[in-house]
Amino acid sequence: MENFKLFLNSLTPVSDGEFENYSQYFKGRSLPKNNYFAVQGKICHEVAFIKKGTLRTYYLNEKSEEVTSCFCTQNNLTTSYKSFVSQQPSELSIQAIEDTELLVIDYRDLQNLYQKSSVWQNIGRIIAERQYMVMEQYASVLCNETAKEKYLRLLKEEPSILNKASINDIASYLGITRRTLSRIRKEITK
């Protein structure tokens, strides 16, 4: 729980008392490699804090190819955000790409938390704001950088992903084809 507390405190001050009172809403869960946290077509009822492990978020495009939109790692949150917030069927699937340990809260409990505690209400808003900023950054990168620049950025900013995810998934995450990624990797190693 300690890392979760640190995570929350990095968003807004949370007193020990406030944390003790409400952290019980979050339940531990193990998610072995290749298991799913969320499935396309089903409503995503939960948000998870990742104690350990890595998850991949993807959807199927019109050609039924998996497009990876996100890798979520230790000490971060994951959920099919849109589905969770709107309680509509998810367009995304979220799958563990290594053995993963989560702290999970469901929608109803979270709404309860929001009701009971303005600190949590505040946390909810700040998280939404952060999610937005991350996505804005992602969009800007996709829009303005070349394939090579995007790969170099990944290499620099999220190197741990490179050992854990397949070439296929990394390519679709960068919005390029496997062939292009292969070319870039060759060019870089020389």
- What is the rounded CA–CA span in Å between residue 185 and residue 183? 6
Q: Which is nearer to DNA, 156 or 179 (CB)?
A: 179
- Can residue 121 be called a binding residue for its own copies (CB under 8 A)? yes
Q: Is the dihedral of CA 109, 119, 52, 134 positive or negative?
A: positive
- The secondary structure element, H or E, covering residue 115 is helix 107-116
Q: Which two tokens stand for residue 68?
A: 């990876």
**Site track 72-101 with its own copies (rule: CB under 8 A), x = hit:** ---------xx--x----------------
The candidate with the shortest Cα–Cα distance to 97, out of 58, 129, 60, is: 58
**Of these, 4, 138, 147, 148, which contacts its own copies (CB under 8 A)?**
138
**Contacting range for its own copies; rule: CB under 8 A; set: 19-27, 141-149, 153-161, 177-185:** 141-149
- Can residue 136 be called a binding residue for its own copies (CB under 8 A)? yes
- What is the rounded CA–CA span in Å between residue 70 and residue 48? 15
Residue type at 63 in one-letter notation: K
**Site track 124-163 with DNA (rule: CB under 7 A), x = hit:** ----------------------xxx---------------
**Of these, 21, 112, 131, 168, which contacts its own copies (CB under 8 A)?**
131
